[in-house]
Structures are given as C-alpha cells and as structure tokens.
Amino acid sequence: MISKILNKVDAPFDENVIDIEKEKLIIAGPCAIESYDQLLETARFIKSKGVKILRGGAYKPRTSPFAFQGMRKEGLEILKAVKKEVGIMAVTEAIDEKSLSEVYEVSDMIQIGSRNMQNFSLLVEAGKQDKPILLKRGMSATIKEWIHAAEYIAKQGNTKIIMCERGIRTFNDYTRNTMDIAAIPIIKQETGLKVIADPSHGTGKRNLILPMSLASLAAGADGLIIEVHPQPEDALSDGDQSLNFEEFSNLISVIKG
C-alpha cells in the first residue's frame, strides 16, 4: 500500500444512513445551483429515483473571473431550504476556509474540487471537520499525489474521505478529460478509501455518461456523481455534460439492472 495511514479509515457515513458496503452511492444534481425552483425540481426528481444525496455548486471555481461564479452564499441558502423541503442529503464544494465553514453548516458532505486538490491549507481545514469529504482528483495529479492529498485530510483526524475520479488532462481532445478508470481499483488497492466516479466531468459529453458509469462500476467504483438538470440546454454551466430527467431515469434503470 502506498498509504500507511489510509488503510484503516472510517466509513464515510453511518451505515443506517447509507450503507456503502451494500448499495452504490449515487449523487446527482445540477452543476450549479441556479434558483430555488431549479434545485427543488431536481431534488424531488432524483429523490423519486432513489438518490439520497443531492449535488449542486454554490461556490463555483471558474477559469475566467468574468464567468458566472455561482450564487455563493445565496446558493447555500437555497440548498438549505431545498434539503428541508425535500428531505435529502447534499454535497457542495468549499473553495476556501470561509466557504468551508459556511458549507459545513448546510451540507452533509464537503467537496474539495480538482483545482484545490493541492490547496494544502484547505485540505488541513477539511481534516478538522467531522463530516465526510469528497476529494476530487486534480487534473494532472498522479496516483501518489492524490493519495497524499487525502493524507493531508486524514492527518488532521478526519478519515471519512471519498475519492472521486473525474478524468485527467491528456492530449486527447475528443472528450473534456480522459477518465482514468484504472485509478478506481488502484485507489482501492492502495488505501482503504471508497472511490466514486464522475463521468460528467470525466467526458464532458452527455452520450458518454451511461457507458462510462457502467465501466466505472464494473471496475469497482463505490458510486457515481452525475450532473442532472431540468433543461440542460439552458444550464448556466456544463449543460453539454448534464443529463435531463429522462436520460437520468434511464441511467438509473440500467444501473439497477
């Protein structure tokens, strides 16, 4: 094992909440929280499909400072209201120490995004929390670097870490990223952590989400995180890689076989 401290880890959730040993962890929702109605509609729909965790970004790390940066604090308020209204858990991204404490108040799981995988100060703060951390792989992170990032969190005492393979950056320009499916069994062999896959960011293409979801699960993934939007064509970000409700329904049927 590469990691000496990650072979004995806490289950990310109490087994009464989600028994990740027995059922796959499906997380779904829009890339960004855009309005109360958008999130509510999505949350209700995915819950009806058996999904227990809603995703939705309030703080969005965007390449350009002139792009939509997320609804930020207002987005978290919406998330809080929708969670209560629908009765569903949530995960959303923290991008710095301040947003981390805000996210902690609202969210059941805290996401550290790809661009922050080596933001070591943020990892240390995440390690001080008592909620599960969803640690996305950096765009050009080696397996070792990703595991070491998880160790930054674990070293502070929080070993409720879920790793998320979301594709790496390669010369291949057909897909947004190249999903490194082999990373899924590797992380499981080298640590005791759970691993999920993000075929939405991993491919950037709606019609590849289903086959890559199936591939990830076949390779041993403990779950999936999928972008779903009521009207992907109107999404403020990542519409091309979001499923509409019908497509998501179909994905769930196929997965549950």
Residues binding a copy of itself (CB under 8 A): 61-66, 95-99, 115-116, 118-122, 139-140, 142-145, 148, 151-152, 155, 168-175, 178-186, 189, 202-203, 207-208, 211-212, 214-220
Q: Shortest Cβ distance from residue 176 to a copy of itself (Å)?
A: 10
Q: Which is nearer to a copy of itself, 53 or 117 (CB)?
A: 117
Residues 6+ apart with CB under 8 A from 11: 20, 21, 160
Tally of residues, the chain: 257
First vs last C-alpha separation in the chain: 34
- Determine if residue 103 is left, alpha or beta; phi over 0 gives left, psi from -120 to 50 gives alpha, anything else beta: alpha
Q: Shortest Cβ distance from residue 42 to a copy of itself (Å)?
A: 25
Q: Shortest Cβ distance from residue 252 to a copy of itself (Å)?
A: 16
Q: Which is nearer to a copy of itself, 18 or 135 (CB)?
A: 135
Q: Shortest Cβ distance from residue 199 to a copy of itself (Å)?
A: 9
Q: Is the Cβ–Cβ distance between 192 and 160 less than 8 Å? A: no
Q: Which is nearer to a copy of itself, 33 or 95 (CB)?
A: 95
Query: Which residue in 166, 232, 171, 236 sits closest to 201, CA to CA?
Result: 166
Q: Which is nearer to a copy of itself, 164 or 181 (CB)?
A: 181
Residues 6+ apart with CB under 8 A from 251: 209, 210, 213, 226, 243
**Alpha carbon distance 145, 136 (integer Å):** 12
Q: Shortest Cβ distance from residue 181 to a copy of itself (Å)?
A: 5
Q: Which is nearer to a copy of itself, 47 or 72 (CB)?
A: 72
